[in-house]
Structure 1
């Protein structure tokens, strides 16, 4: 494999990787996740989305911003100082990935393609939620077909699932993505309570909100947004020919200042719509970009989430 920039995941091009190359790429990805996340995000089994769990933890003094619903009144009465009861995540967690591998993710102008970043995000979630009898499954959608992987435990299952995700065939040209279909596939049949992680660039129509909100009543949610700089703005390139793989249309443009401004405004408006929909669904949003160190973005996200629940972010600098 050719040298990769610091912070970039391996490149996965399904249909082009020979088996030894794929094994090496997945191994590199696994080592990257383990070396850079072990000891940084793990502590009292808080998991990827720290927050109220079902197992009681230690009590600590109340801090501004803590959830008053977690007040421990017995300790408060004994000490005459307000205390909150910390809780940790369930020891057995079932995690489901909804991975969008539509044609819009076969693109990237940073150090990798968005598809590579989606596989990397799936690997990080698998690592962060593994162990202790936890299980992980996935639903992968290309718009052309939906592939399901049952939730099972163990490292071998996680490796086999990631291998299949990385080698998912590309959708035929002109095939639109179907994020709503992937989310719907998690609703039926009903699954045990757990964590649902949606990995997508969310560039299509926001027709998935109802389905995702239906899942929020039973599961914790996390949205992983995979972006490229060109999703947000166009550079001044003069005359360009652009092809949309989800519609099959090809058009020639001149990137004038007015066109670039309109494009940036439309992209910002769409992102705002996506963010508001995710917020209404109760899904925290973690953004990974092809031009940034994705591991550092994960660390920052989890550190911020821990602070929002009043828990210390040990080891994060």
Structure 2
């Protein structure tokens, strides 16, 4: 096994096992509920349970009535293509793998059912529902080692496939850089969805490069250009527009989110979700 990958796994495993044994990290506390029925909203109901799609169609508020499960289904789904290869290295792919490893170890330690799914252009990296440590570590290994440069996935198709695969209400973590439009509304109707955004800091705060050759990480195309102050302003405006639409989408469908930069420790960011 790649020594860098092994070090990543050992670090993630140590962090999760240490914190859980010290009772400092609560269990993944997704609702862990199965859908039961829709009923009209009543005074005192949690407004977060309102089904906005049905509410809009019927003209009055309806909520999703749920009943508790004893066992939580935790799904880690990674959207992976060349966009994770930013700059001169694949730091985003490594950080995504580390984050996925933390989530999967936490599920395994908690005794929850873990399912790992990685969407790439060539194949779907699938770990079937399991509690076994071997399968958890094999999943992170495949995320780490899959070549991505020059590839592009169909995000819409991947999300439809994910919805079709998940028959049981689950806590679903979607990992990716979220640099393009995507629709999580269908998943959020049945599952508790958390978006984990993996970014390189220079993607959000680019530097002046002057005369430069830029290569599209999703294709063989490259462009000779001048990347200066005006280019940065145009880029920042498009990124801010993209992220504003993301935030609106998340708020509309009650999707929690967290952003993790490649120079940050993901554990601290993830713990904010579970407090």
CA distance in structure 2 between the partners assigned to 1:296 and 1:46 by the alignment: 13
Residue 236 of structure 1 aligns to a residue whose secondary structure is: coil
273-282 vs 259-268, which deviates more?
273-282
Q: What residue is the counterpart of 1:296 in the other structure?
A: 268
CA distance in structure 1 between the partners assigned to 2:222 and 2:147 by the alignment: 22
Q: Aligned match of 1:232 in 185, 194, 204?
A: 204
TM-score normalised by length of structure 2:
0.77
Residue 190 of structure 2 aligns to a residue whose secondary structure is: coil
Q: What residue is the counterpart of 1:47 in the other structure?
A: 27
The answer on whether the counterparts of 1:131 and 1:154 sit within 8 Å (CA) in structure 2 is no
Q: What residue is the counterpart of 2:254 in the other structure?
A: 282
Q: Which has the higher strand share?
A: 2
Residue 96 of structure 2 aligns to a residue whose secondary structure is: helix
Q: Which has the higher helix share?
A: 2
Judged with a 3 Å threshold, the aligned counterparts in structure 2 of structure 1 residues 162 and 243 are, in CA distance, closer, same or farther, namely same
Q: Aligned match of 2:176 in 194, 200, 209?
A: 200
Asked if 1:248 corresponds to 2:224, the answer is no
After superposition, the CA RMSD in angstroms is 2.7
The answer on whether the counterparts of 2:32 and 2:72 sit within 8 Å (CA) in structure 1 is no
Q: What residue is the counterpart of 1:176 in the other structure?
A: 152
CA distance in structure 1 between the partners assigned to 2:190 and 2:96 by the alignment: 25
Q: What residue is the counterpart of 2:236 in the other structure?
A: 264
Asked if 1:102 corresponds to 2:74, the answer is no
Q: How many residues align?
A: 243
How far apart are 1:41 and its partner, in Å? Answer: 6.4
Judged with a 3 Å threshold, the aligned counterparts in structure 2 of structure 1 residues 287 and 41 are, in CA distance, closer, same or farther, namely farther
The answer on whether the counterparts of 2:126 and 2:139 sit within 8 Å (CA) in structure 1 is no
The answer on whether the counterparts of 2:32 and 2:169 sit within 8 Å (CA) in structure 1 is no
CA distance in structure 1 between the partners assigned to 2:201 and 2:209 by the alignment: 14
Judged with a 3 Å threshold, the aligned counterparts in structure 2 of structure 1 residues 260 and 189 are, in CA distance, closer, same or farther, namely closer
The answer on whether the counterparts of 1:98 and 1:183 sit within 8 Å (CA) in structure 2 is no
CA distance in structure 2 between the partners assigned to 1:282 and 1:276 by the alignment: 10
Q: What residue is the counterpart of 2:7 in the other structure?
A: 28
Residue 188 of structure 1 aligns to a residue whose secondary structure is: helix
How far apart are 1:28 and its partner, in Å? Answer: 2.0
CA distance in structure 2 between the partners assigned to 1:51 and 1:139 by the alignment: 18
Q: Deviations over 1:255-302 (max 9, x none)?
A: 222111111111111111122222223221111101223333323x23
Aligned pairs (5 A) from 1:50-61: 50=29
CA distance in structure 1 between the partners assigned to 2:25 and 2:94 by the alignment: 28
